[in-house]
Protein backbone atom coordinates (compact mmCIF):
# COMPACT_ATOMS: atom_id res chain seq x y z
CA UNK A 1 0.00 0.00 0.00
CA UNK A 2 1.34 3.41 -1.00
CA UNK A 3 1.70 6.06 1.67
CA UNK A 4 0.37 9.49 0.77
CA UNK A 5 0.58 12.96 2.27
CA UNK A 6 -2.55 14.64 0.87
CA UNK A 7 -1.34 18.23 1.21
CA UNK A 8 1.49 17.57 -1.21
CA UNK A 9 -1.14 16.91 -3.87
CA UNK A 10 -3.81 19.51 -3.08
CA UNK A 11 -4.19 21.99 -0.23
CA UNK A 12 -5.76 25.31 0.78
CA UNK A 13 -4.25 28.50 2.16
CA UNK A 14 -4.28 28.56 5.94
CA UNK A 15 -5.13 31.55 8.17
CA UNK A 16 -2.14 32.72 10.17
CA UNK A 17 -4.17 32.64 13.39
CA UNK A 18 -4.72 28.86 13.39
CA UNK A 19 -1.63 28.10 15.44
CA UNK A 20 -2.58 24.51 16.20
CA UNK A 21 -2.81 23.51 12.55
CA UNK A 22 -0.16 21.57 10.68
CA UNK A 23 1.45 23.20 7.63
CA UNK A 24 3.60 22.04 4.76
CA UNK A 25 6.21 24.29 3.15
CA UNK A 26 8.05 23.54 -0.10
CA UNK A 27 11.19 25.59 -0.72
CA UNK A 28 12.69 26.57 -4.08
CA UNK A 29 14.70 23.33 -4.19
CA UNK A 30 11.60 21.20 -3.69
CA UNK A 31 12.46 20.31 -0.10
CA UNK A 32 9.37 19.67 2.03
CA UNK A 33 9.14 20.82 5.65
CA UNK A 34 6.26 20.06 8.02
CA UNK A 35 5.70 22.66 10.73
CA UNK A 36 3.13 23.89 13.24
CA UNK A 37 4.33 27.49 12.77
CA UNK A 38 2.49 29.60 10.17
CA UNK A 39 4.77 30.80 7.40
CA UNK A 40 4.36 32.89 4.27
CA UNK A 41 3.27 30.63 1.46
CA UNK A 42 2.55 27.70 3.81
CA UNK A 43 -0.33 25.41 2.95
CA UNK A 44 -2.56 23.40 5.19
CA UNK A 45 -1.81 19.75 5.81
CA UNK A 46 -4.49 18.95 8.38
CA UNK A 47 -6.71 21.00 10.69
CA UNK A 48 -6.20 20.32 14.37
CA UNK A 49 -8.92 20.62 17.00
CA UNK A 50 -6.94 21.53 20.06
CA UNK A 51 -9.27 20.16 22.74
CA UNK A 52 -6.51 18.51 24.75
CA UNK A 53 -3.67 20.97 25.42
CA UNK A 54 -0.24 19.49 26.14
CA UNK A 55 0.37 18.57 29.75
CA UNK A 56 3.57 19.39 31.58
CA UNK A 57 4.64 15.77 31.14
CA UNK A 58 3.89 15.90 27.41
CA UNK A 59 6.01 19.04 27.06
CA UNK A 60 8.89 17.35 28.87
CA UNK A 61 8.54 14.32 26.60
CA UNK A 62 8.59 16.59 23.54
CA UNK A 63 11.78 18.27 24.72
CA UNK A 64 13.42 14.89 25.29
CA UNK A 65 12.43 13.66 21.83
CA UNK A 66 13.53 16.77 19.95
CA UNK A 67 16.87 16.76 21.77
CA UNK A 68 17.92 13.58 19.99
CA UNK A 69 20.72 14.01 17.39
CA UNK A 70 19.60 14.14 13.76
CA UNK A 71 22.43 11.95 12.42
CA UNK A 72 22.34 8.15 12.81
CA UNK A 73 23.86 7.25 16.18
CA UNK A 74 25.77 4.21 17.31
CA UNK A 75 22.63 3.08 19.12
CA UNK A 76 20.61 3.26 15.92
CA UNK A 77 23.13 1.36 13.84
CA UNK A 78 22.89 -1.82 15.86
CA UNK A 79 19.17 -2.06 15.13
CA UNK A 80 19.57 -1.68 11.35
CA UNK A 81 19.18 -5.40 10.45
CA UNK A 82 16.00 -5.68 12.52
CA UNK A 83 14.48 -2.51 11.08
CA UNK A 84 15.20 -3.69 7.55
CA UNK A 85 13.71 -7.11 8.25
CA UNK A 86 10.58 -5.80 9.97
CA UNK A 87 9.97 -3.14 7.32
CA UNK A 88 10.28 -5.70 4.55
CA UNK A 89 8.04 -8.17 6.39
CA UNK A 90 5.21 -5.64 6.82
CA UNK A 91 5.69 -3.77 3.55
CA UNK A 92 6.74 -0.48 5.14
CA UNK A 93 9.41 2.03 4.14
CA UNK A 94 12.45 1.55 6.35
CA UNK A 95 12.61 5.33 6.69
CA UNK A 96 9.20 5.33 8.37
CA UNK A 97 10.18 2.77 11.00
CA UNK A 98 13.40 4.65 11.70
CA UNK A 99 11.55 7.97 11.99
CA UNK A 100 8.96 6.67 14.43
CA UNK A 101 11.64 4.98 16.52
CA UNK A 102 13.79 8.12 16.61
CA UNK A 103 10.97 10.36 17.80
CA UNK A 104 9.43 7.79 20.15
CA UNK A 105 12.52 6.63 22.03
CA UNK A 106 15.71 8.13 20.61
CA UNK A 107 16.79 4.51 20.00
CA UNK A 108 16.75 3.66 23.71
CA UNK A 109 15.29 0.13 24.13
CA UNK A 110 14.83 0.57 27.90
CA UNK A 111 12.83 3.82 27.95
CA UNK A 112 9.38 3.97 29.56
CA UNK A 113 7.11 6.98 29.03
CA UNK A 114 5.05 8.74 31.69
CA UNK A 115 2.00 6.88 30.35
CA UNK A 116 3.71 3.48 30.40
CA UNK A 117 4.72 3.09 26.74
CA UNK A 118 7.76 0.87 26.50
CA UNK A 119 10.87 0.35 24.42
CA UNK A 120 12.09 1.49 21.03
CA UNK A 121 8.71 1.96 19.38
CA UNK A 122 7.01 2.99 22.67
CA UNK A 123 4.33 0.31 22.72
CA UNK A 124 1.65 0.48 25.38
CA UNK A 125 1.34 -2.88 27.20
CA UNK A 126 -2.07 -3.58 25.68
CA UNK A 127 -0.88 -2.78 22.18
CA UNK A 128 2.25 -4.84 22.68
CA UNK A 129 0.13 -7.83 23.67
CA UNK A 130 -2.15 -7.36 20.67
CA UNK A 131 0.91 -7.28 18.40
CA UNK A 132 2.25 -10.53 19.86
CA UNK A 133 5.05 -8.87 21.84
CA UNK A 134 5.83 -10.75 25.04
CA UNK A 135 8.82 -8.62 26.06
CA UNK A 136 8.57 -4.98 25.01
CA UNK A 137 12.18 -4.38 26.07
CA UNK A 138 13.46 -6.94 23.60
CA UNK A 139 14.51 -4.74 20.64
CA UNK A 140 13.61 -7.28 17.96
CA UNK A 141 10.15 -7.96 19.37
CA UNK A 142 9.50 -4.26 19.90
CA UNK A 143 10.53 -3.26 16.39
CA UNK A 144 8.40 -6.00 14.85
CA UNK A 145 5.47 -5.08 17.10
CA UNK A 146 5.72 -1.40 16.20
CA UNK A 147 6.02 -2.17 12.49
CA UNK A 148 3.00 -4.47 12.65
CA UNK A 149 0.99 -1.76 14.40
CA UNK A 150 2.00 0.79 11.75
CA UNK A 151 0.90 -1.62 9.02
CA UNK A 152 -2.49 -2.15 10.67
CA UNK A 153 -3.03 1.59 11.00
CA UNK A 154 -1.86 2.22 7.42
CA UNK A 155 -4.42 -0.31 6.19
CA UNK A 156 -7.13 1.32 8.30
CA UNK A 157 -6.39 4.80 6.95
CA UNK A 158 -5.77 3.78 3.32
CA UNK A 159 -2.09 4.62 3.38
CA UNK A 160 -2.55 8.22 4.56
CA UNK A 161 0.72 8.77 6.38
CA UNK A 162 -0.50 11.74 8.42
CA UNK A 163 -3.52 9.86 9.74
CA UNK A 164 -1.44 6.71 10.32
CA UNK A 165 1.06 8.60 12.45
CA UNK A 166 -1.69 10.50 14.25
CA UNK A 167 -3.33 7.21 15.19
CA UNK A 168 0.00 5.76 16.31
CA UNK A 169 0.34 8.69 18.69
CA UNK A 170 -3.25 9.41 19.78
CA UNK A 171 -5.16 6.26 18.90
CA UNK A 172 -7.32 5.42 15.93
CA UNK A 173 -10.53 6.29 17.77
CA UNK A 174 -9.38 9.85 18.45
CA UNK A 175 -8.45 10.30 14.79
CA UNK A 176 -11.81 8.90 13.65
CA UNK A 177 -13.74 11.26 15.94
CA UNK A 178 -12.31 14.42 14.38
CA UNK A 179 -11.50 13.08 10.92
CA UNK A 180 -7.87 14.17 11.25
CA UNK A 181 -5.25 15.11 13.82
CA UNK A 182 -7.03 15.27 17.18
CA UNK A 183 -4.62 17.23 19.42
CA UNK A 184 -1.96 19.89 19.18
CA UNK A 185 0.68 17.61 20.66
CA UNK A 186 -0.20 15.02 18.03
CA UNK A 187 0.34 17.63 15.30
CA UNK A 188 3.78 18.34 16.73
CA UNK A 189 4.51 14.60 16.87
CA UNK A 190 3.48 14.16 13.23
CA UNK A 191 5.65 17.11 12.23
CA UNK A 192 8.73 15.64 13.90
CA UNK A 193 8.19 12.14 12.53
CA UNK A 194 7.60 13.37 8.98
CA UNK A 195 10.71 15.55 9.02
CA UNK A 196 12.73 12.58 10.30
CA UNK A 197 11.10 10.39 7.63
CA UNK A 198 12.18 12.74 4.84
CA UNK A 199 15.72 12.81 6.25
CA UNK A 200 15.91 9.03 6.46
CA UNK A 201 14.66 8.70 2.89
CA UNK A 202 17.96 10.32 1.89
CA UNK A 203 20.18 8.28 4.22
CA UNK A 204 19.31 5.28 6.37
CA UNK A 205 21.39 4.16 9.35
CA UNK A 206 23.63 1.26 8.38
CA UNK A 207 24.56 -1.73 10.48
CA UNK A 208 27.82 -1.81 12.39
CA UNK A 209 30.54 -3.79 10.63
CA UNK A 210 32.78 -6.10 12.66
For the chain, 210 residues long, the average pLDDT of each consecutive 10-residue run is 45 32 64 64 57 44 45 76 96 96 94 94 96 96 96 94 95 93 94 94 77
Given a contact cutoff of 8 angstroms between Cβ atoms, the answer to whether 72 and 203 are in contact is yes
Measured at the alpha carbon of residue 21, what is the angle toward residues 202 and 165, in degrees to the nearest 5?
A: 50
**3-state DSSP helix/strand/coil % of the chain, to nearest 5:** 50, 10, 40
Given a contact cutoff of 8 angstroms between Cβ atoms, the answer to whether 149 and 90 are in contact is no
- Of these residues, 21, 50, 104, 188, which one is catalytic? 104
Q: Minimal CA–CA distance to 83: which of 103, 65, 107? A: 107
Q: Give the Cα separation of 185 and 103 in Å (integer).
A: 13
* Active-site residue flag, 104: yes
What's the confidence (pLDDT) of residue 72? 45
Q: Give the Cα separation of 135 and 120 in Å (integer).
A: 12
Q: Give the Cα separation of 35 and 95 in Å (integer).
A: 19
What's the confidence (pLDDT) of residue 73? 66
All structural domains of the chain, each given as residue ranges with its CATH number in brackets, are 56-202 (1.10.530.10)
Phi, psi of 137 (to 5 degrees): -95, 0
What's the confidence (pLDDT) of residue 52? 43
From start to end of the chain, where are the E strands? 22-26, 32-35, 43-46
What's the confidence (pLDDT) of residue 160? 93
What's the confidence (pLDDT) of residue 75? 80
Amino acid sequence: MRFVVPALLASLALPASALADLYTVVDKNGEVTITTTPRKGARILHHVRDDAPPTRRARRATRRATAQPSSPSARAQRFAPHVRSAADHYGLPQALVWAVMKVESGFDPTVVSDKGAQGLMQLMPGTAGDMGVTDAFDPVQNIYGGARFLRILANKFDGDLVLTLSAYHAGGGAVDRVGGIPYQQTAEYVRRVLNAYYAYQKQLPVADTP
